[in-house]
Amino acid sequence: MNVRIIQLLILAQLLITAAATAKEPAAESDSLLRSRIVNNADSLLNGEWFITATGYNKQDSTGIDTILIDYRKRRIRVVADKRLSYFPARLPVIDSIERGLLAGTGEQFEDFSVELFSAKRRIRELVPNYYRENPKERDRSRSIGRLRRASPPLVQNLSKPGLSEATLYNTNIALWHSHGWYYEPTLHRWEWQRARLFQTVEDLYPMAYTLQMLVPMLENSGATVLIPRERDWQVNEVVVDNNGSTGNSIYLSAGFGEDTGAVSGFAVGEPPYVDENPFRLGTFEEMASGRQASGSVQWIPEIPETGEYAVYISYDASQENTDDAHYTVHHAGGVTSFSVNQQMAGGTWVYLGKFLFDRGLDPQQGKVVLTNESGKRKGRITADAVRFGGGMGNIQREGITGLRPRYQEAARYWLQYAGFPDTLVWKLNGPSHDYKDDYMSRGEWVSYMMADQGIPVDLSFAFHTDAGITGNDTVIGTLGIFSTNHRRGSFPSGLSRMASRDLTDIVQSQIVGDIRALYDPSWIRRALWDKPYSEAFRPNTPAMLLELFSHQNFIDMRFGQEPMFRFHTSRAIYKGMLKFMNALYGIDYVVQPLPVTHFSSEILETGDFYLSWRPVADPLEPTAAPDGYRVYTRLNGGGFDNGVDVSGTSLTIKNPHSDSLYSFKVTALNRGGEGFPSEVLSVCNRSTPRGRVLIINGFDRLGGPAWFEDSAHAGFLPMVDQGVPYMVDLHTVGAQHDYRKSSPWLDDDSPGHGASYADLEGLVIPGNSFDFSFVHGASISNAGFSFASVSDESVLDDSINMGAYDVVDFVAGEERTSYFPKNDSVPLYQVFTDSMLTRFGDYLRGGGNLFISGAHIATDVHINGQDSLVGELLKYRWRTSNASRLGGFYFTDPAFAGQTETFEFNTGYDPEIYTVEGADALEPVDSTATTLIRYRENNMSAAVACKGEHGIVSMGFPFETIKGSKTRDEMMKKILNYLLQHKDDETN
């Protein structure tokens, strides 16, 4: 809030207080003075204006414990109870409060100063350094000065050299996402540490922020992010090691020699593990470093199935080791190089990144290579195991393993598998206290990395969601927890533990401010608690425990189920951390850009490809303006390369290979780092094309599941609409089954309102990959056509000449008009805006042909009152929503397929493609159109076609969800033939 507004609010309140006491004589005695101060304090600190002035939703009442009057120094000290210290202190507000405590006390005390205390501190001490404009007022015990680190980062991606200039370069951030799957000995079972509510569980839910959004943001800003839980949701795992490897994987060593010392390297051993530390079961190899490579180790995995795999390396660390060990990862997108500081983080898994690997054993595009090349001659380089993929849990407790993907397990088990010592990290409370060990281990892990592994961790962050119910349309809101009193208030480095309060205040302020600006102006800011929570006091670095909102409160979870809410909340956390680093080290506050928009591709007459895009301004962050871009390329469905930097907003791809399918994505760059990527656009130029097709990506939607609420019931309805996750959904456990608001919480197995099934646990649920132009394009290319693809924004901007294409393929996917919680005035993700229909009309009148597919292309039209307009233009009308649960369909035109042939689109879980839970039935609007496809289960019309001066095929389910690439290819070929009035010719 504007400081001037705060001061006016306070002045108004003080005038009211002064008027109420004007008839009394001024300051006749100490007792009267104290009484007036107490009354003023009650009015100032416990009224509505305090909430307005501070933004803190103060629910408790602050009392005054002590008032000390020093006539000689003309000073009054007022000591309030501890609850006052929970608010976000800012100097202008404090100045006004302290002046206001003397309102109505008379001329005798006009020149007295007032000092307000709470929690054994002047409340001025509670103001974070970041919010102190005057450098002389900053607390030097809570800042370090310029970041000057002699050693390089733990891991540097040499294929992205720009990261070394990013704002958080060479910083280290430890963070984790809540609890996890753990063994409970009293029940002799593995279970969650929290209840399944509103289709998720706190043990999983925060990773939808951390793993999918916050961690990439921090890494794209140059930071190294350390996590005490598995970060890869790939359930397959391949280990390649000198002491034994998975399957037929190969370990090749040339020039390195086996260490002859004590056993202190990784070996798989005989899992499942009970008390074993696998990093004490094997050996490692070592070699002297040199300016030129004279030795190498290769880890060649046998990949069980094509997919993305995290790559982890391990080695033995010492001060004799080189700090620039050179690793290269050969993957389906090319080669990515890394420099690893082997002087730190030895004897554990060190994360490099996630890469696409093809199935099988591929010594060319599937391996990790380490050489002894280094800038440090006669140093030491060591080589141990390399791990590909997250895998399944392999820790056994009382004869039982968790039987879950490792990323779902609690930190305590990953820390054991990652080689950390038992009594210091994962066995703190004896042999059978996994619950305590888990929440204690995370903070101890941070301190161990700092003290024993040489990693200078700059901050620690624990992400949780709280419990609580409001029973109305108000969120529980955001709580921040820190600890300042442990070990006499200082970290081993000498930094004051008040830095933890600074971190917590700054991050909480950023979260609440951004959510209020973007989603809910009344979002609740809860307290700043200084309490000895394990995750707050154990780390020997500034630490924050965030309780973002209540997973038990329905309106909180309505926000929480929205992917864009999670993106902006994660961005707020990242910005808060950046502001904290700014105050701690003087790091420049520059925020990485938002994803670009208006992305388009074009095949030029020369055969070159032309790409263009536009930057997006961040209304909350003027520093987030891009000053460059990076374009990534993928060839024929492989992996993306490391990208090429571009200064402007366009790029010409020279001399692309004919008949090859190219895909591109763009990121925006600035000194803050690299933003999230654009949608993926694909292009293919056939050497002898049958025609040209333009793919328009109109599937931008991200959203939570359908919901409802009445006076007695509330909940999510995935059978109506599961929502659209960003990329994948990692947190859904199953559908909600208890909708009664009055259902009481009994225990975690019977949690009452919001209780949900567990049938989806362990599944990674596909969402919007923003990569469907590739799926459509592959079938278009296989039909013999050249194609380019564009975003729907670029079409709406009228910058695309659709008339240059024989057919337009509009990808509607699961686009449908949606609204954010508590905001039904701004429609998002409408399938057809009036402007888009105008563009289609112009194109069709010019002789164009149109193929439209999507699950809601009729329902959304019907809801938005566009039936007549669409009926006249596209020749179909809405019949019903949710027309098919089985996904089977057949063609009514024998030229496409016989009626007995079975085709299917995905309506259930599939690991590769999103679920269509509500396909449309749409019918011909008049005799100029005909039904082309019917749903097998009920014979409702599933697709409408018309052919005259132009052709249109409109399909009530997404083309990309049709099962089987061969089926998609054949369907696309026949649809294009139909639209272009070609006769079906199997030889084409």
Predicted local confidence at residue 377, as pLDDT: 84
CA-to-CA separations, 195 to 162, 203, 747, 809, 980, in angstroms, rounded: 43, 9, 8, 45, 56
Share of the chain above pLDDT 70, in %: 96
What pairs with residue 853 in β-bridges?
A: 811, 955
Entry field: residues in the chain? 988
At residue 386, does pLDDT exceed 70?
Answer: yes
Residue pLDDT, tens place only, 21-76 = 444 444 457 888 999 999 999 999 999 989 999 999 999 999 999 999 999 999 99
Residue pLDDT, tens place only, 397-422 = 999 999 999 999 999 999 999 999 99
Q: How far apart are CA 666 and CA 672, in angstroms?
A: 16
Task: Report the SS3 class of residue 79.
Answer: strand
Residue pLDDT, tens place only, 213-241 = 999 999 999 999 999 999 999 999 999 99
Q: For residue 469, give both structure tokens.
A: 């119910």
Contacts of 955 (CB under 8 A, 6+ apart): 851, 852, 853, 854, 857, 932, 933, 942, 943
How do beta strands 951-955 and 849-854 pair? parallel
Phi, psi values for residue 534, rounded to 5°? -55, -45
Residue that is written with structure tokens 């963070």 in the block: 175
The DSSP annotation for 953-966 comes to EEESS-GGGBS-HH
324 near 374, Cβ under 8 Å? yes
Predicted local confidence at residue 22, as pLDDT: 42
Predicted local confidence at residue 430, as pLDDT: 83
Q: With CA atoms as reference, report the closest residue to 387 among 360, 344, 411, 418.
A: 418
Q: With CA atoms as reference, report the closest residue to 176 among 555, 418, 443.
A: 443
Q: How far apart are CA 423 and CA 421, in angstroms?
A: 6
Mean pLDDT of 117-139: 95
Residue pLDDT, tens place only, 593-624 = 999 999 999 999 999 999 999 999 999 999 99
Residue pLDDT, tens place only, 650-684 = 999 999 999 999 999 999 999 999 999 999 999 99
Residue pLDDT, tens place only, 736-782 = 999 999 999 999 999 999 999 999 999 999 999 999 999 999 999 99
558 near 821, Cβ under 8 Å? yes
Residue pLDDT, tens place only, 481-491 = 999 998 889 99
Q: With CA atoms as reference, report the closest residue to 409 among 438, 380, 372, 370.
A: 438
Q: How far apart are CA 481 and CA 228, in angstroms?
A: 20
Predicted local confidence at residue 2, as pLDDT: 56
Q: Count CB atoms within 10 A of the CB of residue 353.
A: 18
Phi, psi values for residue 449, rounded to 5°? -60, -35
Predicted local confidence at residue 13, as pLDDT: 53
Q: With CA atoms as reference, report the closest residue to 681 among 598, 760, 569.
A: 598
Ranges 98-107, 143-152, 693-702, most confident: 693-702
Share of the chain above pLDDT 90, in %: 89
Question: Measured in whole angstroms, how far is the alpha carbon of residue 569 from the centre of its chain?
Answer: 9
Residue pLDDT, tens place only, 692-730 = 999 999 999 999 999 999 999 999 999 999 999 999 999
971 near 897, Cβ under 8 Å? no
At residue 260, does pLDDT exceed 60?
Answer: no
Q: How far apart are CA 961 and CA 348, in angstroms?
A: 41
Q: How far apart are CA 275 and CA 621, in angstroms?
A: 50
CA-to-CA separations, 954 to 5, 863, 870, 887, 923, in angstroms, rounded: 56, 18, 11, 17, 10
Predicted local confidence at residue 471, as pLDDT: 83
Predicted local confidence at residue 950, as pLDDT: 87
Q: How far apart are CA 547 and CA 693, in angstroms?
A: 50
Of 902 and 184, which is predicted with more confidence? 184
Q: How far apart are CA 386 and CA 753, in angstroms?
A: 45
Q: How far apart are CA 33 and CA 18, in angstroms?
A: 13
End-to-end CA distance of the chain: 67
Predicted local confidence at residue 853, as pLDDT: 98
At residue 18, does pLDDT exceed 70?
Answer: no
Could you tell me if residue 74 is left (phi over 0), alpha (psi between -120 and 50 degrees) or otherwise beta?
A: left
Predicted local confidence at residue 5, as pLDDT: 54
Q: How far apart are CA 872 and CA 353, in angstroms?
A: 52
Q: How far apart are CA 548 and CA 568, in angstroms?
A: 13
Element (H, E) at 435: helix 434-451
Q: For residue 40, give both structure tokens.
A: 């003023």
pLDDT band at 264 (very low <50, low <70, confident <90, very high): confident
Contacts of 70 (CB under 8 A, 6+ apart): 76, 77
At residue 17, does pLDDT exceed 70?
Answer: no
pLDDT band at 425 (very low <50, low <70, confident <90, very high): confident
Q: At what angle do helices 30-45 and 91-100 cross, to 10 degrees?
A: 140
Least confident of 11-20, 446-455, 548-557, 905-914: 11-20
Task: Report the SS3 class of residue 413.
Answer: helix
Predicted local confidence at residue 889, as pLDDT: 96
Q: How far apart are CA 94 and CA 78, in angstroms?
A: 13
Element (H, E) at 564: helix 563-585
pLDDT band at 1 (very low <50, low <70, confident <90, very high): low
797 burial (CB, 10 Å; 0-12 / 13-18 / 19+) is: middle
Mean pLDDT of 850-862: 98
At residue 19, does pLDDT exceed 70?
Answer: no
Residue pLDDT, tens place only, 433-454 = 999 999 999 999 999 999 999 9
pTM equals 0.95
Mean pLDDT of 783-810: 96
622 burial (CB, 10 Å; 0-12 / 13-18 / 19+) is: exposed
986 burial (CB, 10 Å; 0-12 / 13-18 / 19+) is: exposed
Q: Where are the alpha helices (DSSP H) in 887-947?
A: none
At residue 985, does pLDDT exceed 50?
Answer: no
Residue that is written with structure tokens 């809801």 in the block: 863
pLDDT band at 948 (very low <50, low <70, confident <90, very high): confident
Q: How far apart are CA 692 and CA 806, in angstroms?
A: 5
Predicted local confidence at residue 23, as pLDDT: 41
Average per-residue pLDDT for the chain? 94
Predicted local confidence at residue 588, as pLDDT: 95
358 near 665, Cβ under 8 Å? no
Q: How far apart are CA 802 and CA 783, in angstroms?
A: 20
DSSP state of 750: B
Predicted local confidence at residue 261, as pLDDT: 58
DSSP state of 770: S
Q: How far apart are CA 879 and CA 110, in angstroms?
A: 78
What pairs with residue 325 in β-bridges?
A: 340
pLDDT band at 927 (very low <50, low <70, confident <90, very high): very high
Q: How far apart are CA 352 and CA 361, in angstroms?
A: 20
